[in-house]
Amino acid sequence: MIINIPENSDFSIHNIPFGIFSTEDRSPRVGVAVGEHILDLAAVAELDVFDFNTAVLEKDTLNDFIALGKEITKRVRKNIQHWLQDDHSVLAGKPELFVKQSEAQMHMPVYVGDYTDFYSSIEHATNVGKMFRDPENALLPNWKHIPVGYHGRASSIIVSGQAIHRPKGQTLPNGANAPVFGPTQRLDFELEMGFICGKDTQLGDSVSTKEAEDYIFGLVLFNDWSARDIQKWEYVPLGPFLAKNFASSISPWVVTMEALEPFRVAGPTQEPKVLPYLEYEGAKNYDINLEVDITPNGGEANTICHSNFKYMYWNMAQQLAHHTVNGCNINVGDMMASGTISGKDENAYGSMLELAWMGTKPVQLKDGSERKFILDGDTVTMRGYAEKDGKRVGFGEVSTKVLPAK
């Protein structure tokens, strides 16, 4: 092996995720995570080993690289895997091609032109329905027929490590007749994953479930921040607005669909039967372990949630097929988030709304404090990895600190 990869590293030889990094002497550019290091692909290109226009590797987003198409991006990934395992490859004896991750700054991996958030976990949708509507009829009549989603704000998607300020807006206090304005008192995270579109379509075209994975480049961890009290007041009749558009945080490394191939699993049985355009063949869910930590300011990390991406009722192929069935066009870099990923057990709930059951069951932390929702100074960290037959493919983390309202 050209470079040492620690055991149980998220960034094993089986992974090779792509991202954008910079250092004091290297401008933002394309790299891949290898263990605790980053392989600088712009520097590798100077060895004249690639058969495409390598100017795309010097860009500050992955969009142009992704737009080359999977025939090229898959070959780049396979070449890197081969070179890393060959002690006589083009990478041998060239430590200058590698940068320690600890010495690099990570940037938004893609320019996100459009962002859609889905609502595709039946466990999450059921929990929310029980709390806010009818415990006996928690799901709305359309939920098992369409992958529910809404168009979110792309400009406020940020990369791991960037802090956010507590948002402000209108809320309606219990028993009040008129709304008040101020910082949210119910700031929440939502444990999600997001996929990045890898091909453009034209207005009027649609993508089938059979074709969908050709249009997905890879995935990131996604924390879709939410202000629950603002949301409760504003979401009728048109859905999320200020309660959601203030920030969403993503992990910096994009894990390719090819890296996730060994971790395919069957999804839940969908009843009633879906309409023909949403039908699909094969295993379209992915066994990816997920967890969430809360770290109080200056305190110790507390893992409060263990969930898994395999729980999703609506899979990514169905989401993309539904999104485009009416002719809506997509572009390289567009991001689509899964919606909160909750499991059947209480410790697998993917939001504070569920974990603390709307504040009635506070979550106890190690320092003796409790959380109904996220407090100023708290840092929320999400991690994810898939593991099978000695292969580990991870996403690293998305970590965000909450600062007081401005």
The set of catalytic residues is 124
DSSP string, 266-324: -----SSPPPGGG---S--EE--EEEEEEE-TTS--EEEEEEEGGG-SS-HHHHHHHHH
Cβ within 8 Å of residue 318, ≥6 positions away = 147, 209, 212, 274, 278, 280, 284
Name the CA dihedral angle for 136, 140, 143, 144, rounded to a multiple of 10 degrees.
50
Residue carrying structure tokens 């030889």: 13
DSSP structural state of residue 375: P
DSSP string, 35-61: TTEEEEHHHHHTTS--SS-GGGGGSSS
Q: Which residues of 117-126 are buried (b: 16+ CB within 10 A; e: fewer)?
A: bbbbbbbbbb
User: Which pairs with CB-CB distance under 8 Å and at least 24 residues apart come from 325-329?
Assistant: 325/206, 325/277, 326/206, 327/203, 327/204, 327/205, 327/206, 328/203, 329/200, 329/201, 329/202, 329/203, 329/204, 329/205
In whole angstroms, what is the distance from residue 359 CA to residue 354 CA? 9
In whole angstroms, what is the distance from residue 107 CA to residue 20 CA? 5
In whole angstroms, what is the distance from residue 196 CA to residue 320 CA? 11
Cβ within 8 Å of residue 78, ≥6 positions away = none
* 104 to 19, 25, 161, 238: CA distances (angstroms): 12, 10, 12, 42
